[in-house]
Amino acid sequence: MTANNTILINLIARYNALAFTHNYIMGFSYEGNIYAYSCVGLSCGIKLDRASSKNGGGYSIRFDPSKAEKAELVKAGICELVCSELYFSEAVKNSKYNKGEIFEKLITEKAGQVWEKDNVPFYAGADLTTEGKAYSLKFERATICTENTILRVEGLK
């Protein structure tokens, strides 16, 4: 096991101890479409990355699936087609929101709810609650959490 794997495993364990929910709806673009899949726990496409200096530096947990991982998820039949990449790009271009926020909006509306932009922290609530289940929604290249945020929530910073 490499040092980076050890760091990632440690950060995920600490994040999980703090997280409001362990249910996720993850989204990504692949071959001209936007797909989503639900999962319990952080696994496929989760990488260790560096947090930006504006976020205090250090490490971050990021959802960044490779092309091979995306292909595997689609081939496995666990993904749901959300929309075309063209539709998604136009929605982002014609709004003040970023890709992650537009993904949240599409998934929330697909669940029959009205989406509103919020800033609820990962330890205090979910992005979507439907059918009695709370979900955190993430789109590719999303930062799940930074090391500094984990330290702050743990009361160590």
Q: Label the pairing between strands 46-50 and 59-63.
A: antiparallel
Residue range 68-108, pLDDT digits in tens: 999 999 999 999 999 999 999 999 999 999 999 999 999 99
Question: Over 70: is that where the pLDDT of 1 sits?
Answer: no
pTM of the predicted model as reported, rounded to 2 decimal places: 0.93
Q: How far is CA 108 from CA 31, 53, 73, 152, in A?
A: 23, 31, 22, 29
Q: What pLDDT, on a 0 to 100 scale, did the predictor assign at position 52?
A: 82
Percent of the chain with pLDDT over 70: 99
Question: Over 80: is that where the pLDDT of 54 sits?
Answer: no
Burial, 119: exposed, middle or buried (Cβ in 10 Å; 0-12, 13-18, 19+)? exposed
- The pLDDT confidence band at residue 53, using thresholds 50, 70 and 90, is confident
